[in-house]
């Protein structure tokens, strides 16, 4: 899909409607610009939601908050 836009005096441009709709680009999304030998690559970077990052951090093998509190109350090092 070929689209073109004009760069304004303030170096701003508009993402064409076909591109916005096809890639679900909405206000607040960030466009990443990468300069390559073959040209410029522009791709959207969506904001991450809580559901996107759920499960990235594991607490496997770490004591829980209750156990840490008990250790502190007993004067033990954590």
Q: What's the pLDDT tens digit per position in 38-76?
A: 999 999 987 777 777 777 777 777 778 888 888 888 888
Question: Per the structure block, which two tokens stand in for 69?
Answer: 């509190």
Contact status, residue 44 vs residue 31, Cβ threshold 8 Å = yes
Average pLDDT over residues 19-27: 92
| pLDDT recorded at residue 78 | 67
Radius of gyration of the chain (CA): 24
**Which residue did the predictor score with more confidence, 9 or 78?**
9
Contact status, residue 46 vs residue 39, Cβ threshold 8 Å = no
Main-chain phi, psi angles of 41, to 5 degrees: -110, 125
Residue 19 has pLDDT above 80, yes or no: yes
**Which residue did the predictor score with more confidence, 24 or 65?**
24
Round to whole Å and give the CA distance between 58 and 40: 38
Round to whole Å and give the CA distance between 62 and 71: 13
Q: Is the pTM of this model over 0.95?
A: no
């Amino acid at each position: 899909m070929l689209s073109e836009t004009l760069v304004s005096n303030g170096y701003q441009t508009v993402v064409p409607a076909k591109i916005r709709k096809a890639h679900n680009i909405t206000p607040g999304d960030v466009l990443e610009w990468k300069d390559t030998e073959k040209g410029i690559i522009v791709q959207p970077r969506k904001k991450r939601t809580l559901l996107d990052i759920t499960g990235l951090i594991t607490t496997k093998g770490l004591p829980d908050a209750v156990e840490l509190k008990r250790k502190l109350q007993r004067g033990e090092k954590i």
